[in-house]
Every structure is written in structure tokens, then in C-alpha cells.
Amino acid sequence: MLFQRSCLYLQGKSNTNFFMKRIFSCKSLSLFFFFAIACTAFVACGDDDDEVVPADISAAFRGSYEGQMVTTCDLRPLDSLKTIVKAEVDAANIRIAELPVALVVDSVFGSGTADSLGISVVPTSVGYKLYNASASYYPMSYDPQPIELEVSKGGTPHQLSISFYGRGNDFLFYFPSSKRLEMTLRTSSVRVDGEQMFTTTTTGRKALAFRYAINMIKM
């Protein structure tokens, strides 16, 4: 008789625990969905805020720019090239009239190659998207156009491909009070006939990489 009562007690307790677990699980699930919806709404609102760039800022950003560009090889920071840079900014692109590629070409094919072939500079375009941040500055995500060059060395033509990081890797900045545009383009790969170029350093082989630090003022 005592054994039967114990079994009934345990069974009742088990049913109660199971029922409580069901209630707890339902509450947990409801809370999970509530927070998920709240987070989604918060992110969506944040995205909408990012999209709202004052019309006068967008209009003021467009125009002609001029300034200085410093081209540097990441593995040889002292080996840099300073040049004057000019650009035209429209509603979707930053069009750079002359991007210096001599340092890249000569690093791969030998000193003087770019000048002898007349490919020291090339035009390029950088797609951009302006974001709302504060009244003092406006960041931009961007998408640089890859550069394709045919380089002849010893009578043999080669295809030099220069690609850049973009999107979420770096940001461009527009400062409306000073009408200044700051940007840094970094190469993601330098390839010859499809093969990534490397250089030997004291710590081993590393991919050849370059950066273009640009600081321009609206004219």
C-alpha cells in the first residue's frame, strides 16, 4: 500500500513537473520571439536613419576636387610617391583622373617599366554610398573599380590586375565644413596572368600590397 502511494505521488509530481516545463517552455519561446521582433525593428529603424542624408549635403558633396595622394608599398613604407590628384564626384561615383600605378608596375616588372610603356597613371572610378553620421562628417562605403593593364616585358605581353578592398573594409569621409574628402584605397590583390605576386621579406614571403592615401578639397 505504501509502495502504491509512493508511485502515485511520484507520478503526480512527474506530471506536475512536465506541465510546469511546458508552461516555462512556452513563456521562453514567447519571450524569444518578442526580443527577436524588437531587435529586427530596432535594426530596421537604424538602417532607415543611415539612409537619410540631408539633400543639401548630398548636393554639396558633388563637384570637382583636388589634393594630394601618397602611394605606398605596404612592405616598403619608405618607398612612397607623392602626386597631385584630381577627381570629379557625381551622385554615385568618385572619378579619379589619374591614379598612379608606376610604383605597382615597377615593383613587379622592374624599375622604369611604367614610364617606358606610358602607363604611369590610369583613370579609375570608385562607386560610393553616403551615410548619415553627424553634422561634422559623413562616412561612405565604397566599391573601387579593378584596374587591368597589359604590360610587355621582354617582348612578352602580360596581364596585370590590381584589385582593391571595398564595402565594409574601410570608409571614406566627407567633412562638409572644410569641404574635404579623405579616403584610402588598399589593394586586395596584385596579379600577373592570374597569379598573385609575392615579395620576400625578413619574415618570409608576403603578398605584394599597396595603399593610396588621398586628401582632397572641393574646388
Q: Distance of CA 203 to CAs 89, 199, 200, 206, Å?
A: 41, 11, 8, 8
Give the whole-angstrom CA distance, residue 100 versus residue 120.
6
Assess contact for 174 and 181: CB atoms under 8 A. Answer: yes
Give the whole-angstrom CA distance, residue 211 versus residue 72.
5
pLDDT tens for the chain, 219 residues: list them.
Answer: 433 444 434 444 444 444 444 444 454 545 444 444 444 444 444 444 556 789 999 999 999 999 999 999 887 766 788 999 999 999 999 999 999 999 999 999 999 999 999 999 999 999 999 888 788 999 988 999 999 999 999 899 999 999 999 866 566 899 999 999 999 999 999 999 999 998 777 677 888 999 999 999 999
Give the whole-angstrom CA distance, residue 181 versus residue 123.
18
Say if strands 93-100 and 121-130 run parallel, antiparallel, or are unpaired.
antiparallel
Which residue in the block uniquely carries the three cell numbers 595603399? Answer: 211
All three cell numbers of 13, joined, read 509530481
End-to-end CA distance of the chain: 99
Q: What is the pLDDT of residue 62?
A: 97
Is the overall model pTM greater than 0.75, yes or no?
no
Which residue in the block uniquely carries the three cell numbers 551622385? Answer: 91
Q: Which of 117, 203, 208, 129 is nearest to 161 (CA)?
A: 208
Assess contact for 174 and 137: CB atoms under 8 A. Answer: yes
Which residue in the block uniquely carries the three cell numbers 572610378? Answer: 125
All three cell numbers of 193, joined, read 596572368
